Structure 1
Amino acid sequence: MQLLTNTHTFPYTFEETIVAVWQKYPNDMSEHVKCIDILDRKYNKEEKKITTHRLITCQQKIPTWLQYIIGKELTKSKVLEISELDYKNKQFSLKSLNITGGKFLKVYEEVVYKPNMAGNTTEFKQNAYILGNTNFNKINSKIEDWSISRFNFNAARGKKGFESILELLFGTRENN
């Protein structure tokens, strides 16, 4: 298993950032995200929390050697995402897990958005756990290495795409 961690400070308020999260897709930088379906959404009035379950459909090219292992049909994958907006404590967390291809690869991702102490920017932290899930260590290692490379590529493009949505909604701002 391998762990990836990314952090970033967005020069937008917590409220602005959360509005943009719901508008993130589609964007030109995350073309691999094909569809997002909201499966369930609940509001807890006493705790001021909104919990949302979404099904995210992605499609991307995979190397030929990997197609031989997992099959061509797994170029399209489904991811279950559960998010919780805790407005009382000013935190937005998302947890996701792939629900296709799990017998070959498991990807578990946690993302947290929080306002910084000054309150005018938003802190972002992302952890992704990537685990090759076959009976062969060498194949697991190769699958994990490719997945980490692809995850980093998609994360960098996703950040640029998200920043373009923030700019579209709230104007351009510079990080301090």
Structure 2
Amino acid sequence: MVVAASTCRTETVFDYSWMNVVVAYWNRYPNPSSTHVLTEDTIQREVRDGKLFSRRLLSKTNPVPKWGARFYNNVPVKIVEDSVLDPVKKTFTTFTRNLGMTKIMKVDEIVVYSEQKDGSTVAVRRAYISSQVFGFSRAIRAFGIERFKANGNKASNGFNYVLRRMFPDSLVGGGHHQHAVTTTSSAGELPVTTTTVSTSTGNHNNPGTLKSAAKVGYEFFKSHASKIAQLFSVKN
């Protein structure tokens, strides 16, 4: 069976240190932009080779368009989140995937938070969205891409809300705007849309320089999805 898929990449700069971002990450819920996140529970956490490995279970819900009601009844969906924190390299990587409704729409997402030279933190999000619904796959994947971008913006706004509350006097990197660049593509196609979003993280008006978005290939995710899941999974 051929499973059609689309990929999406976004890049966001937070004007806070990597350490502050990591600390805030574990405290980012609830916030005004995360009403769709219902629950979060830490299932397992351990230190291996100097790295912190965590596995969490989240419950989320999102409204669907009318045409999607025939496939999805807007019930909460469970999300598994595996993460690896490397304090030496100063990278924090999360890998999430939905447990339910996978035949309708499966979303694998990888986010890497890393330190920049100016002291700020960049978060690169990559998503692989697939659907097995014959005749509706393209529409479902397009809906998934738009939902991914919308939720990404909400997540960034909510994260900045938490960062401002936890570290009100800790802006770094000149306090520039938050930048997000989105590139989407489908299997066997060139990138079809490019969207730029800019949201202020403080009282600064310099837009800064947007980083160019690199194309995330469908074949990469297709051949590495299972390996990535194993890499970030916590040992039983």
Shorter-chain TM-score above 0.5? yes
1:3 and 2:7 aligned: yes
Superposition RMSD in Å: 1.3
User: Matched residues, percent identical?
Assistant: 28
* 1:1-176 correspondence runs (5 A): 1-44=5-48, 47-70=49-72, 72=73, 74-118=74-118, 120-134=119-133, 136=134, 138-171=135-168, 173=171, 174-175=175-176
SS in structure 2 of the partner of residue 94 of structure 1: strand
1 or 2, which has the higher helix percentage? 1
1: distance between equivalents of 2:126 and 2:107?
Answer: 10
2: distance between equivalents of 1:57 and 1:99?
Answer: 10
- Scaled by the length of structure 1, the TM-score of the pair is 0.91
2: distance between equivalents of 1:151 and 1:115?
Answer: 24
8 A Cα contact 1:58 1:77, kept in partner: yes
Q: 1:60 Cα shift? A: 1.8
SS in structure 2 of the partner of residue 75 of structure 1: coil
- Scaled by the length of structure 2, the TM-score of the pair is 0.69
Cα deviation digits, residues 78-125 of structure 1 (max 9, x gap): 11110010112211000011100011111000000011124x111110
Partner of 2:188: none
8 A Cα contact 1:98 1:108, kept in partner: yes
8 A Cα contact 1:54 1:82, kept in partner: yes
Q: 1:14 Cα shift? A: 0.8
8 A Cα contact 1:97 1:106, kept in partner: yes
Cα deviation digits, residues 106-163 of structure 1 (max 9, x gap): 1000000011124x111110001111122x1x30011111111112111111100000
| Structure 1 alignment gaps of length 5 or more | none
User: 4+ residue stretches of structure 1 with deviation over 2 A?
Assistant: none
1: distance between equivalents of 2:43 and 2:151?
Answer: 24
